Amino acid sequence: MTILALTGGVGGAKLSLGLTHVLTPNEITFVVNVGDDFEHMGLSISPDIDTLTYTLAGVVNEATGWGRADESWDCLTELKSFEADTWFQLGDRDLALHLFRTALLKRGKSLTEVTDIVCSRLGVKYKVAPATDASLRTRVVTDQGSLAFQDYFVRLKCEPKVSELEYHQRTIASLSPAIDPDDVSGVVICPSNPFLSIDPILELDEMRSLLTNRDFPVVAVSPIVGDRAIKGPTAKMMREMNMSATCAGVAQHYHELLDGYVIDDIDAHHASEIEALGIRIRNAPSIMRTIEDKVALAKVCVDFLEELR
């Protein structure tokens, strides 16, 4: 039986790395958000898949949490000399992966197949599965209109005020064939942005059905610590959508799906509010600065699943 880890972004990749130190490749599948995938300058780009793959391969830029380590920028510099649109910055090594992915997709490979090939070439032994092979796309409804995800997140630096999120083609998208619903023994929802990284996965009808009609536990880790997002615009978005920008607010957002919820020690005062939703709580240090932090939090999640099971 396999644990599914739903993940996206830097926070999700950090916990995912910890989980690889606790579970074997046969015991976990990483289900990755594809709502922020897009086409740029003719290339098919999958940022969350790449962040996780680079992290598990040990080649991620540790300073940013995304992109390649020891990156060079010759192509971007040359594009700037042509006055090309360079708001989405692509390093040379990263660019090579996008060229490789795009070529394989044009030859008829699915995103699942391409991701498996890339992981193999980079030495990643764990299953990294896009949530779907379909063109699921997140759009952000803001005070500046409906924006494609990367326009909101990168080009406009998350500055527009958010009112809601839309997930296009979610109802016709099937789960990746790398995900076996009959083999699931538990789910960990990583501390990723709930709206930009996790909800696109949860909005897939097959995933929602799997989690609604389940006989296994689901545990989430809060992306909010001390009423702040560790990284990214989670807290800002929650305030703009009139939600409580706390770990309890995230629990309320997920509550119909959760059996257990891991919150940081600093947020222990929210425990009774969350437990009133019928969710069991674990307090644990959840800021992952070192590999030891990542592994310790991963152990908490796996032990919690086992206890709930």
What per-residue confidence (pLDDT) applies to 172?
67
What per-residue confidence (pLDDT) applies to 171?
66
What per-residue confidence (pLDDT) applies to 169?
75
Tell me, yes or no, whether 278 lies in a domain: yes
Distances (CA, A) of 45 to 40, 57, 63, 90, 237: 7, 18, 21, 10, 24
Q: Of 259, 136, 252, 251, nearest to 205 (Cα)?
A: 136
Tell me, yes or no, whether 140 lies in a domain: no
Tell me, yes or no, whether 210 lies in a domain: yes
Structure tokens given for 56 = 């598990």
Tell me, yes or no, whether 193 lies in a domain: yes
Tell me, yes or no, whether 12 lies in a domain: yes
0.75 cut: is pTM over it?
Answer: yes
Tell me, yes or no, whether 87 lies in a domain: no
Domain harbouring 298, CATH code: 3.40.50.10680
- The number of folded domains in the chain is 1
Q: State the residue range of the domain holding 180.
A: 2-36+46-55+126-135+171-308
What per-residue confidence (pLDDT) applies to 71?
96
Tell me, yes or no, whether 186 lies in a domain: yes
Tell me, yes or no, whether 161 lies in a domain: no
- At position 265, the amino acid (one-letter code) is D
**How many Cα neighbours within 13 Å face the side chain of 236?**
13
Averages of pLDDT over each 10 residues, the chain, 309 residues: 95 98 98 96 96 98 93 95 92 97 98 98 98 94 96 95 89 87 96 96 93 95 90 92 96 95 96 96 96 98 96
Residues 194, 234 contacting (CB under 8 angstroms): yes
The backbone torsions φ and ψ at residue 261, rounded to the nearest 5 degrees and listed phi first, read -145, 130
